[in-house]
A and B are shown apart, each in its own frame.
Chain A
Amino acid sequence: MTRGIRAMRTYLPVTRLERDSVVAAHRWAYPSRRHVGKLATANWDEDSITMARTACSDLAVDGHALHFCSTTAPFAERANAGLLRQSLGWPDSTLVVDHGGSMRAGSTACYQQLTHSTGRAIVVAADKRLAKPASEQELQFADAAVAIDIGSDDLVCEYLGGATLSVDFVDRYRSAGEPFGYAFEQRWVRDEGVSRHVPPAIQSALDDAAVDVSAVDHLVANLPARGRQAIAKSVGMSKAVTDSALDEDVGDAGCVQPLLALAEVLEQAKPGATIVIVAFGQGVDVLVLRVNRPVDTGFQQQLAAGRDDSNYLRFLSHRGLLDLDWGKRTERDVRTAQSAYFRESDQISAFVGGRCPVCGTVQFPRTQACVNPDCRHIGEQEPYSLVGAKGRVKSFTEDWQAYSPDPPLIYGNVEFEDGANILMQFTDAQSGEVSVGVVVTPSFRVKDIDERRHFRRYFWKATLARGVH
């Protein structure tokens, strides 16, 4: 049975932190450091679950296995993939699996689904890693997610073969419960790790795929440009390495990176092209794919939609690396009544409102009595999802008094095209961007962080539908 990729979507957060703003902040201590380019960085209300949720948005599937891959899953106990499934509104019979622990978490899950499974599965990788201020990692780490629909029919990309190799080569590590990782010398990693482990793995994969090295059109890897070129040269496929926007305009998105690199090249590859994907991290995964038809992964469009940001202090604050004084309003307790959440979890996590069975009015929240003043029918309402709906702003404010990690807190009344009206918080919007009549779409985000109980809760916020009027 031919296995392969049916669809693929990326998610790049909108903010692009300018690396020279980071370098400038540390110049007093590291005067010789130079860096160009940008890093895709998540907002304060994004984490690997919310980014994964957004990446899955355009995949028209449900009810299949869901594999969530991340080294920065927000919960060590509470099924992250289970929350992701709930936010997708998929049935509770969905097989949900959390993968982690490696920069290969995403590629290994793909390998597993391509080689050891026959069913349909969504593999979604997302990472939002913390780097210590002034570290080299700080100038490399990026945030992103990629969702891949894997199956056996209607393939945009066929799996030809692959290989996996496990080596306990500790180029870097992050201990459980620790915020920051520790990286060993890059020259040693290059000479004793990448150069020794990757070439034979590529050869094994090509053998498995029965593809000659000369037939490879694209080589992508979670390695910097120079590392990719060196590997390509050593295995005789130099022409297969091309420039990647990831190097300067995105950064290194952890376990997402090999899949993000694939998403980038898939938008450019011609039908019939052969792609080799290399994922390095305590071993190597190699996947060999052949392109059936070009696919819009969203990568180029999201790359172009980035918004440059030179505010390094805000970046630090949003990462929790700078503890700013937000005033006494933050003392408000945001304890979550889990029993209340569980009762309403489809409303809160999956944004499912109600539709009146008598008059058809769509409303949020879903209640036992219709809000239409001409109806007011009392009785059960039909669940009605508001995910993906377009809304128009009826009224709004930019509130400088309310607590927000990203002031001003912008919120307003939104009327959705199907008739639901909701007072919503806006995100990824700046002062002056919102006005009455602008079009918004809901985005799954962190609502509150409960510092006292180390919990976070999620809801849907309005994001500006850029380019839509």
Chain B
Amino acid sequence: MAAGIRDKVAVIGMGCTTFGERWDKSAADLMVEAFQEAVADAGIDRDGIEAAWLGVFFDEQNIGKSAIPLSNALRLNNIPVTRVENLCATGTEAFRGAVYAVASGACDVALAMGVEKLKDTGFSGLPERTNGTFEDQWLPNSTAPGAFAQLASAYSHRHGVAMDDLKRAMAHVSVKSHANALHNPKAHLRRSITEQDVLNAPPVAFPLGVLDCCGVSDGAACAIVARPEIARELGKTNNVAVKALQLAVSNGVEASHSSWDGSYTITTRLAAERAYQEAGINDPRADLSLIEVHDCFSVTELVIMEDLGLSEPGAAPTDIRDGRYDADGAIPCQIDGGLKCFGHPIGASGLRMLYEVYLQLLGRAGARQLADPQFGLTHNLGGIPNRNVASISILGGL
């Protein structure tokens, strides 16, 4: 196996907008807002950035194709800018482009920007999208909640967990994220809810109700990465480094082969295994101080706890209800509120997760600061369980 990118790249600045219904801000406005925070944090001149990556998912709904919107928004100095898109892993993909550019030695400083303007569609929920000219002719006209909701029926069947018990564990996932978001001034949804609220919420896609679903938000987040030597030259002493950055992409097994039963995500397991190895983490349950996972829906977070190897197979509902992933639990999950409450502007989400881990590692997370975190993991699951892109990154001190 290749040496990997552990400790080859430092994160020298990050920025993130408030997520939510930003009716008064365009995608360009949001990019500027996130960038100003990051560039001030990094303490560099804008023209020190040598290359940039832009992550946007629903291009048709906001800024169109290509990377030009980022170059335009920041009036970058005609540097190379590349647009990437890989479903809900888009933000992490932008980060991967910038990190790889620095790790390769092609540039010293690079920018990753993720942005999504979802609230110009005219309705709640995600915009409709196409699967292409062939697949639109046979795939069901599914929605994101419907596609993920199937995890619950398959999980319940595989592990013999009664649906009512599973739903209570899923409700705990949402209640916990709402409680965490109360301490995050940038979060979209900031109100506490109860387990009963979740169970009584209007149905969206069986067994998911409205409060099992994450927010649909506008927002942008960005990272400036550099060679560790640059970070030191800038006078930074407390530095955050990339320990691992892995991606696993479905090849059709989930959708078309009997070996998958629909109750877990193959790609998360593969990406986690590779990431732990790249980061040199032997015991993730002991070594991870916090995790930010792709909680697009409550049941997704539940099965991800097992796919990351943090709960034993079939034990996630119990672990969740026992508070293992609460703010004061063994491995706090979504300490910033997660997709559920911080919000989910798709292209920005991966970078938003990294932003929280970055703040926590630097001790800058305010009221939600965890004690002495060492390693933080972020996880995206793009697409649907039937075919998806799983990305995992691990950050730690340099």
Residue numbers of A with Cβ under 8 A of B are: 327-329, 331-332, 334, 336-337, 340-341, 343-344, 347-348, 361, 363-365, 367, 371-373, 394-404, 408-409, 411-413, 415, 419-425, 431, 435-437, 447-448, 457, 459-460
Q: Can you list, as one digit per residue, whether each of B245-276 has a CB less than 8 Å from chain A (1) or not (0)?
A: 00000011101111111110000000000000
Report whether B256 and A422 are in contact in the complex, using a CB–CB cutoff of 8 Å: yes
Going nearest first, the 3 A-B pairs with the smallest beta carbon separation are: A399-B146, A395-B262, A395-B154
Q: B215 CB to closest chain A CB, in angstroms?
A: 15
The answer, among A394, A398, A423, A424, for a CB contact under 8 Å with B206, is A398
Residue numbers of B with Cβ under 8 A of A are: 121-123, 125, 128, 133-134, 136-143, 145-147, 149-151, 153-154, 156-157, 203-206, 208, 251-253, 255-263, 386
Could you pull out 15 A-B pairs where Cβ atoms are within 8 angstroms? A328-B121, A340-B137, A361-B257, A371-B256, A373-B259, A398-B206, A399-B145, A399-B146, A399-B206, A401-B145, A402-B143, A409-B140, A412-B153, A420-B256, A437-B157
Q: B298 CB to closest chain A CB, in angstroms?
A: 14
Interface of B is mostly: loop
Q: Which residues of B sit under 8 angstroms from A337, Cβ to Cβ?
A: 133
Report whether A403 and B141 are in contact in the complex, using a CB–CB cutoff of 8 Å: yes
The answer, among A396, A409, A425, A447, for a CB contact under 8 Å with B137, is A447
Q: Which residues of A sit under 8 angstroms from B258, Cβ to Cβ?
A: 415, 419, 421
Q: B220 CB to closest chain A CB, in angstroms?
A: 25
User: In the complex where A402-B146, A413-B150 touch, is A424 in contact with B262 (Cβ < 8 A)?
Assistant: no
Report whether A421 and B136 are in contact in the complex, using a CB–CB cutoff of 8 Å: no
Question: Nearest chain-B residue to A435 (Cβ)?
Answer: B153
Interface centre among B133, B137, B150 (most CB of A within 10 A): B137
Question: Nearest chain-A residue to B206 (Cβ)?
Answer: A398
Q: B77 CB to closest chain A CB, in angstroms?
A: 40
Q: What's the Cα separation between A396 and B146 when bound, in Å?
A: 8
Q: B201 CB to closest chain A CB, in angstroms?
A: 12
Q: Which residues of A sit under 8 angstroms from B141, Cβ to Cβ?
A: 332, 402-404, 409, 425, 448
Report whether A395 and B256 are in contact in the complex, using a CB–CB cutoff of 8 Å: no
Question: Nearest chain-A residue to B259 (Cβ)?
Answer: A373
The answer, among B137, B203, B205, B262, for a CB contact under 8 Å with A394, is B262
Q: Which residues of A sit under 8 angstroms from B133, Cβ to Cβ?
A: 337, 340
Report whether B257 and A348 are in contact in the complex, using a CB–CB cutoff of 8 Å: no
Q: Which residues of B sit under 8 angstroms from A403, Cβ to Cβ?
A: 141
Question: Nearest chain-A residue to B266 (Cβ)?
Answer: A373
Q: Which residues of A sit under 8 angstroms from B206, Cβ to Cβ?
A: 397-399, 408, 431
Q: Which residues of B sit under 8 angstroms from A347, Cβ to Cβ?
A: 138
Q: What's the Cα separation between A19 and B332 when bound, in Å?
A: 60
Q: What's the Cα separation between A371 and B252 when bound, in Å?
A: 6
Report whether A400 and B138 are in contact in the complex, using a CB–CB cutoff of 8 Å: no
Q: Which residues of B sit under 8 angstroms from A436, Cβ to Cβ?
A: 153-154, 156-157
Q: What's the Cα separation between A327 and B204 when bound, in Å?
A: 15
Question: Nearest chain-A residue to B156 (Cβ)?
Answer: A436
Q: Which residues of B sit under 8 angstroms from A408, Cβ to Cβ?
A: 205-206
The answer, among A331, A344, A396, A402, for a CB contact under 8 Å with B150, is A396
Question: Nearest chain-A residue to B123 (Cβ)?
Answer: A328
Report whether A457 and B137 are in contact in the complex, using a CB–CB cutoff of 8 Å: yes
Report whether A459 and B257 are in contact in the complex, using a CB–CB cutoff of 8 Å: no
Question: Nearest chain-B residue to A328 (Cβ)?
Answer: B123
Q: What's the Cα separation between A337 and B260 when bound, in Å?
A: 32
Q: A16 CB to closest chain B CB, in angstroms?
A: 26
Q: Which residues of A sit under 8 angstroms from B260, Cβ to Cβ?
A: 421
Report whether B255 and A421 are in contact in the complex, using a CB–CB cutoff of 8 Å: yes
Q: A433 CB to closest chain B CB, in angstroms?
A: 12
CB within 8 Å: A-B pair count: 138
Q: A163 CB to closest chain B CB, in angstroms?
A: 46
Q: Which residues of B sit under 8 angstroms from A397, Cβ to Cβ?
A: 145-147, 149-150, 153, 205-206, 208
Question: Nearest chain-B residue to A421 (Cβ)?
Answer: B256
Q: B352 CB to closest chain A CB, in angstroms?
A: 24
5 further interface pairs, Cβ-Cβ under 8 Å (given A395-B261, A395-B263, A397-B208): A397-B145, A402-B205, A404-B141, A436-B156, A447-B137
Q: Which residues of B sit under 8 angstroms from A431, Cβ to Cβ?
A: 206
Question: Nearest chain-A residue to B256 (Cβ)?
Answer: A371
Q: What's the Cα separation between A337 and B137 when bound, in Å?
A: 9
Q: B205 CB to closest chain A CB, in angstroms?
A: 4
Q: What's the Cα separation between A328 and B256 when bound, in Å?
A: 31
Q: Which residues of B sit under 8 angstroms from A401, Cβ to Cβ?
A: 125, 143, 145-146, 204-205
Report whether A423 and B137 are in contact in the complex, using a CB–CB cutoff of 8 Å: no
Q: What's the Cα separation between A220 and B123 when bound, in Å?
A: 56
Q: B20 CB to closest chain A CB, in angstroms?
A: 21
Report whether A340 and B157 are in contact in the complex, using a CB–CB cutoff of 8 Å: no
Interface centre among A328, A337, A367, A423 (most CB of B within 10 A): A423
Q: Which residues of B sit under 8 angstroms from A457, Cβ to Cβ?
A: 137
Question: Nearest chain-B residue to A416 (Cβ)?
Answer: B258
Q: Which residues of A sit under 8 angstroms from B203, Cβ to Cβ?
A: 398, 400
Report whether A411 and B137 are in contact in the complex, using a CB–CB cutoff of 8 Å: no
The answer, among A372, A415, A423, for a CB contact under 8 Å with B139, is A423
User: In the complex where A327-B123, A457-B137 touch, is A411 in contact with B252 (Cβ < 8 A)?
Assistant: no
Report whether B205 and A399 are in contact in the complex, using a CB–CB cutoff of 8 Å: yes
The answer, among A336, A344, A371, for a CB contact under 8 Å with B257, is A371
Q: Which residues of A sit under 8 angstroms from B137, Cβ to Cβ?
A: 336, 340-341, 344, 348, 447, 457, 459
Q: B120 CB to closest chain A CB, in angstroms?
A: 12
Q: What's the Cα separation between A363 and B251 when bound, in Å?
A: 13
Q: Which residues of B sit under 8 angstroms from A448, Cβ to Cβ?
A: 141
Q: What's the Cα separation between A425 and B147 when bound, in Å?
A: 12
Report whether A329 and B128 are in contact in the complex, using a CB–CB cutoff of 8 Å: yes
Q: B319 CB to closest chain A CB, in angstroms?
A: 22
Report whether A373 and B253 are in contact in the complex, using a CB–CB cutoff of 8 Å: yes
Q: B119 CB to closest chain A CB, in angstroms?
A: 13
Q: What's the Cα separation between A424 and B150 when bound, in Å?
A: 12
Interface centre among A397, A411, A412, A436 (most CB of B within 10 A): A397
Q: What's the Cα separation between A425 and B146 when bound, in Å?
A: 12
Report whether B142 and A413 are in contact in the complex, using a CB–CB cutoff of 8 Å: no
Question: Nearest chain-B residue to A347 (Cβ)?
Answer: B138
Q: What's the Cα separation between A367 and B189 when bound, in Å?
A: 44
Report whether B140 and A394 are in contact in the complex, using a CB–CB cutoff of 8 Å: no
Q: Which residues of B sit under 8 angstroms from A437, Cβ to Cβ?
A: 157
Question: Nearest chain-B residue to A436 (Cβ)?
Answer: B157
Report whether A447 and B138 are in contact in the complex, using a CB–CB cutoff of 8 Å: yes
Q: What's the Cα separation between A398 and B143 when bound, in Å?
A: 11
The answer, among A329, A395, A399, for a CB contact under 8 Å with B153, is A395
Question: Nearest chain-B residue to A426 (Cβ)?
Answer: B140
Q: Which residues of A sit under 8 angstroms from B142, Cβ to Cβ?
A: 399, 402, 409, 411, 423
